[in-house]
Every structure is written in C-alpha cells, then in structure tokens.
Structure 1
Amino acid sequence: MAISTCAKCEGHAFERALVTPLRELRSVPVLQCANCGAVVGTLESEAAIDGLQKQIGAIDAGLIRIVKALQGQ
C-alpha cells in the first residue's frame, strides 16, 4: 500500500482545516499537511452541499415563476 506524501515537505501526516481565500467571505474546508500547512485538496462538507441544494431550489422556483408569468401574457 502506498503512503501519502506531501509534495512540499514530504511529510506523511494530514489534517482538516478551514481556509478563507482572499476577497471571500466564506471559508473552504481543505486537507492540508500537518507539518508545513500546504493544502493538498479541498473537502466538501455535507453542510456546503445542503446549502448549494437550497440555492438551486430557490433558483428553480424563481425560474418557474418567470415561466408562468410569461405564459400568462
């Protein structure tokens, strides 16, 4: 079995963290090297996915209202 290795420092320990990108209001869940902090990937949390589903539902509802309004003209 292969051992995961950090590309920057060759460490083998990783941890979850929250990173806020520049000019952003929300944090992004990431997987980072426990030794040097280099980000090796992003993690999608269930809460983030639920939030996106709610946003998509609201957009869909708005589009349905628009279509109904246009059909009524």
Structure 2
Amino acid sequence: MAISTCGKCGGHSFEVALFTPIGENRKLTLVQCSTCGVAIVALDPFIGPQLEALKREVAAIDQRLARIAGALQELE
C-alpha cells in the first residue's frame, strides 16, 4: 500500500483543521500536513462533523475489538 507524502516536506502525517478564509464568515475544513502545515485540500464545510462522527465510530469499534481480543486471550 502506498504511503501519502507531503509534497513540501516529505512528512507522512496529516490533520484536519478548520479555518476562515479572509473576508468570509464561514469556516472551511482543511486537510494539512501536520509537520509543516501546507494545505493539501479544502473540503466541504459540512464534512468536518461527519469526520468527527466517523472518528467516534472507529474508536468504539476499536474498543470492542480490544475487549474481544482480551476475552480470547482468557480462553487460551
């Protein structure tokens, strides 16, 4: 599988940030390199809450998988 790489600094970590463009009242969602901060893409402003909801769902699934793994280890 390919690893995403920042075109400016070569970093491999990215983050979602909210920003307000100059002269605007609304915020946009921006994906940026977490090392140097270069913007990768601006997303639909409504995607931010959807991403947060997905993060919560993934965290809940991870917790359930950890419980299952613990239960399986107890059976051994």
TM-score above 0.5, yes or no:
yes
Q: 5+ residue gaps in structure 2?
A: 50-76
Q: Which residue number corresponds to residue 13 of structure 2?
A: 13
TM-score, normalised by the number of residues in structure 2: 0.55
* Aligned CA distance change for structure 1 residues 8 and 46 (closer, same or farther; 3 Å): closer
- Structure number, greater radius of gyration: 1
Q: Which structure 1 segments of 5+ residues have no match?
A: 48-73
How many equivalent residue pairs?
47
1:28–1:46 Cα change, 3 Å: closer
Distance 2:29 2:17 in 1: 6
TM-score using structure 1 length: 0.57
Question: Is 1:40 matched with 2:59?
Answer: no
